[in-house]
Amino acid sequence: MFKFGLRSVLYVLMFLLAFTAGWVSFMPMSFVAQQIQSNQPDLHITSSHGTWWHGGLQGVSWQNHHNIELLWQLDLIDDFNLQAQVEVKHAALQASTTITTPVASLWQDTLPTLNVSSSLITVDIAQLAPFAPYPLPAINGEIKVFAEQLTLDLNALQQSHAKLPMIALEPPLRFSTTNVTVLNNLALGRFTGLVRHSNNPQGYHLSLNSVQDGSEPITVEGYSLLTNQQIKSDYKVSPNPRADHGLIKLLDLMGQKQANGSYRFNTVYSI
């Protein structure tokens, strides 16, 4: 009969632990993709590569979004935190971010809290038009959103009964655009702004300003306020004297012309 001492038991435990860690780390992504699709029948995955620790999914389709590519790399960092570097590629959106969460939170019954940093999202503005509360003219351009630091309490967001789940945006999300055009390539210019959390009333406050270098066709300044009850906007638009006549005509049709020659866009829409 074999006799195992304490040292032998420790060796066996270390072997089992190393084997389990290796098996989990190198679990093929194809196996993970099968499990995801079996639990999410409305999600379709064309192909996958790598392992769940460092891999990706290609040809992902979800609802009306098709041909999405997801790439990620997981790492264990100091203080037993799990860090994920994630990339999302799509015809309408390109995004990259770093997500960190304590390893211990993954074994709890509640959803984890995620610390999101260095996020960069590039979106085709034309893809945002269908989500506007009112019809927009054909609009083209690109918007880039940068988030320095963001904390997402997934458990609190899931339990929220409000129409608009609130996320504290401190520091705020910053964004900028490329040259924006409407209709028959009428140039509007470039813009910068930020989105921050609003406490009174509770919601999100978006401020927008045009990039002013003397050559922009219009100058814009104003804000939008999004709550769980309404969307409120108030913008002042001042055209450059050399602006295209078609752009002036568009402003006459859509804005409220002021005595000083500027235009005001002041709207409120209930949700």
> What's the pLDDT tens digit per position in 78-120?
778 888 899 999 888 899 999 898 877 767 777 788 888 989 9
Range with the largest mean pLDDT of 18-22, 77-81, 155-159, 215-219: 215-219
- Name residue 54's beta-bridge partners: 73
Q: Is the pTM of this model over 0.85?
A: no
Mean pLDDT of 164-170: 81
pLDDT digit string, tens, across residues 16-28: 554 445 555 566 7
The residue-averaged pLDDT of 200-210 equals 91
Task: Domain ranges for the chain, please list them.
Answer: 28-109, 125-271
What is the mean pLDDT of the segment spanning 258-271? 90
The pLDDT tens digits for 42-67 are 888 888 888 877 888 888 887 777 88
| Alpha-carbon gap, residue 241 to 71, rounded angstroms | 48
Cβ neighbors of 17 (< 8 A, separation 6 or more) are: none
pLDDT (mean) for 239-268: 89
Q: How high is the pLDDT of residue 25?
A: 58
